[in-house]
Structure 1
Amino acid sequence: MIDWPLAELLPHAGDMILIDEVVAFDEEQIHTRLTVTPGGLFNLANGAMPAWVGVELMAQSVAAYAGCQARVRGEAVELGFLLGSRKFECNVEQFAAGSLLQIHALRSLQDDNGMGVFECRLTGPGIEAFARLNVYRPPHAAEYLNEGART
């Protein structure tokens, strides 16, 4: 388990942080996990989490990977964007309350311009989900965001 607070690794705040912890990471991958708790931001009335939230869990794991890499290099955590996912597949429609979910994200491509591709897998009790996430982290996120405001 990593001791850095998630709020220092993710450009999210409060209830938008959906993963509970970073279990391990290295230069190519990250392992995260969470326990589905009733009353969460995206939970259904029965306390379960819709399976489509799995894409966001995977994206937050990728963001935590970037945050961990930045911390190791002594750099600030920067904003990144989920551009899309390919072939999100899940064998269930929802993740039951109390389920322990484990996410593994493996970097398969990253270029110098900030584009990246991650192969992601989410598992839990009777749960198998997969997706390939396309992400973008602009070199200077603040300047990138301000460009749209000027037009």
Structure 2
Amino acid sequence: MTLPKSDWAKLIPHAGSMCLLDEVVAWDATSIHARTQSHGAIDNPLRSDDRLRALHLCEYGAQAMAVHGGLLARAAGGTAAPGYLVSLRDVDLRVARVDDLAGLLDVHAERLLGGEGSWQYAFRVEHAGALIASGRAAVIVTTRA
């Protein structure tokens, strides 16, 4: 059930190199598993001082949340309302930087709460089977006109 970026990229507001995920490995009503190699890209827009710091893995988790919301909305015959990341909680970073990690990152997000106006997810990012980042994120959905 792997979905390439071309299948879901238009469901989220992130475009070009800012669309950090490469593929969706699996998803269901409550969770998503995505993979990427963008952490090693020289043109990664989150890099600074020639590094990609582990703190940016929160954005990878947030993008997995956005893709999940888009896929859920599409499956229901609609489109996801835009949202704003409003909080990060219990963030645990186990490495200082990620641009030097070879291979894929596995990005997981699990929907903890979801309603018309907000979502809350737990996310985790793994490299070679080891946890390198985790936390919770909340999104407030904007009202459509």
Q: TM-score, normalised by structure 1?
A: 0.82
Query: Which residue of structure 2 lines up, in the alignment, with residue 136 of structure 1?
Result: 140
2:11–2:79 CA contact under 8 A, matched in 1 = no
Distance apart, 1:67 and its partner CA: 0.7
Give distance in 2, aligned partners of 1:6 and 1:17: 11
Query: Which residue of structure 2 lines up, in the alignment, with residue 37 of structure 1?
Result: 40
What RMSD over aligned residues (CA atoms) do the two structures have, in Å? Answer: 1.9
Distance apart, 1:53 and its partner CA: 0.7
Structure 2 residue corresponding to 1:78, chosen from 76, 81, 92: 81
Which secondary structure does the structure 2 equivalent of 1:60 belong to? helix
Amino acid at match of 2:34: T
Task: Classify 1:93/1:8 alpha carbon distance in 2 versus 1 (closer, same or farther; 3 Å).
Answer: same
Give distance in 2, aligned partners of 1:139 and 1:105: 24
Query: Which residue of structure 1 lines up, in the alignment, with residue 13 of structure 2?
Result: 11
Query: Which residue of structure 2 lines up, in the alignment, with residue 55 of structure 1?
Result: 58
Number of aligned pairs?
139
Percent of residue pairs identical:
29
Distance apart, 1:58 and its partner CA: 0.4
Distance apart, 1:88 and its partner CA: 1.0
Task: Classify 1:77/1:117 alpha carbon distance in 2 versus 1 (closer, same or farther; 3 Å).
Answer: closer
Q: TM-score, normalised by structure 2?
A: 0.85
Give distance in 2, aligned partners of 1:60 and 1:97: 20
Task: Classify 1:134/1:128 alpha carbon distance in 2 versus 1 (closer, same or farther; 3 Å).
Answer: same
Distance apart, 1:49 and its partner CA: 2.1
Amino acid at match of 2:93: C
Structure 1 residue ranges without an equivalent (≥5) = 144-151
Structure 2 residue ranges without an equivalent (≥5) = none
